[in-house]
Amino acid sequence: METLDLFEPATGLDDLVGILENMFVERLVFVRLEMHEERGELLVEHLLAQFASTLDLIDLVQAEDGQETGLEFLFRELDHTPEGSEPRLVTFPIDPQDVEVDLFDEQVVMSSGAFTLTVQRLAAVAVHA
């Protein structure tokens, strides 16, 4: 595993996808997707997804006009899931003008608009199918 200081500074979502692939693809990860909603002066947090799985693919989502609107994560199911079940797909909506990414050696926390996605590596060794 490369350490984060070996990566060049990220200048766009393509660079971020490359970093995330190096850190997490084919590794067992814990995923948490949350949405924050303001109700008057109250901030309400909604848990949209939370699971452990193997990250298989990361891709950019683009609108018809070519603007990047999200990151799509495809997760391969763990061994104990029923045969023939669909892989998990998580789409993280992104406002290109409002993206914050915190990279750590074992996890990444991304925030954009009302959404926060945390991906944390659970095992230091790669998982092979």
Distance between CA atoms of residues 118 and 31, nearest Å: 6
Contact 111, 94 (CB under 8 A): no
pTM of the model: 0.78
Average pLDDT over residues 83-92: 79
Report the number of distinct structural domains present in the chain. 1
Residue in 120, 103, 102, 114 with CA at minimum distance from that of residue 31: 120
Say what the pLDDT of residue 1 is. 44
CATH number of the domain at 68, please. 2.70.180
- Res. 62: pLDDT tops 70: yes
At 29-57, the pLDDT tens digits run 999 999 999 888 998 999 999 999 999 99
Position of tokens 């959404």? 115
Residue 52 domain-assigned (yes or no): yes
What's the domain range around 18? 12-121
